[in-house]
Amino acid sequence: MRYQLIVANLILLCLTLNGCHFNSKHVPLVNVHNLFSNIKAIDKVYFDLDKTVIKDSDKVLLEKLVQKAQEDPTTDIIIVGHTDTRGTDEYNLALGEQRANAVRDFIVSCDKSLEKRITVRSKGKSEPAILVYSNNPKEAEDAHAKNRRVVITLVNNSTSTDNKVPTTTTPFNEEAHNTISKDENNTQQQAESDNINNINTQQKLEQDNNNTPEVNN
């Protein structure tokens, strides 16, 4: 019984000391509005199986995107090619790049001055839009079709401080920090003292009980 009480008090001491060190005043805050304000537009075009040919319906979409880029010279164009999840990694990386290049070539054919603002990447099959689990062939093929895509994003290319994504933290106040640290140390020392007193009290009670003579009836 004695050792159980000691262990229980030690656990309480550990929990108390651990809680004393928590300070939420310096948790960084992210400005979500500014984070997403750098993205001007996102569009997608889709491809047939193992194909890199842009469909006529998607050409209309790309022409509108070109117009947006022309109207806003502060934007860059990021083109990322994707494939469905069938086939090898190497094959799909190459296929994704070919699809992204096809989109880039079409944009450049509309306006050659945009070429220097374009970045092309391929993710292959590593980032599917839809995970394919269905055993139904039609449902599975519909899902694969959604993964055979190129994502085109217009992003802000301005280097001004107003358009950078800021990370905001609470200003550091050294005087307040020292006061808080001093209070935490005092609280910690008081917690240690209280728990030691509790342990000593339990031990004293047990010792008194052990020294109490038994009464025979």
Q: Which pLDDT value is given to residue 32?
A: 44
Is residue 171 in some structural domain? no
* Pair 141, 86: CB distance under 8 Å: no
Please report, for the domain that includes residue 58, its CATH number: 3.30.1330.60
Structural domain including 82 reads 41-158
Q: Which pLDDT value is given to residue 20?
A: 47
Is residue 120 in some structural domain? yes
Is residue 203 in some structural domain? no
Q: Which pLDDT value is given to residue 166?
A: 37
Which among 80, 103, 83 has a CA at the least distance from the CA of 91?
A: 83
- Higher-pLDDT residue of 172 and 87 is 87
Residues forming beta bridges with residue 29, ordered by sequence position: 168
Instruction: Give how many domains the chain has, as a whole number.
Output: 1
Cα–Cα distance, 141 to 150 (Å, whole number): 18
Is residue 52 in some structural domain? yes
Q: Which pLDDT value is given to residue 196?
A: 63
Q: Which pLDDT value is given to residue 134?
A: 86
Cα–Cα distance, 86 to 209 (Å, whole number): 76
Is residue 167 in some structural domain? no
How do residues 182-209 score in pLDDT, each as one tens digit? Answer: 555 566 666 666 666 666 666 666 666 5
Percent of the residues in the chain that have a pLDDT greater than 70, as a whole number: 55
How do residues 112-167 score in pLDDT, each as one tens digit? Answer: 999 999 999 999 999 999 998 889 999 999 999 999 999 999 999 864 334 433 33
Is residue 116 in some structural domain? yes
Is residue 205 in some structural domain? no
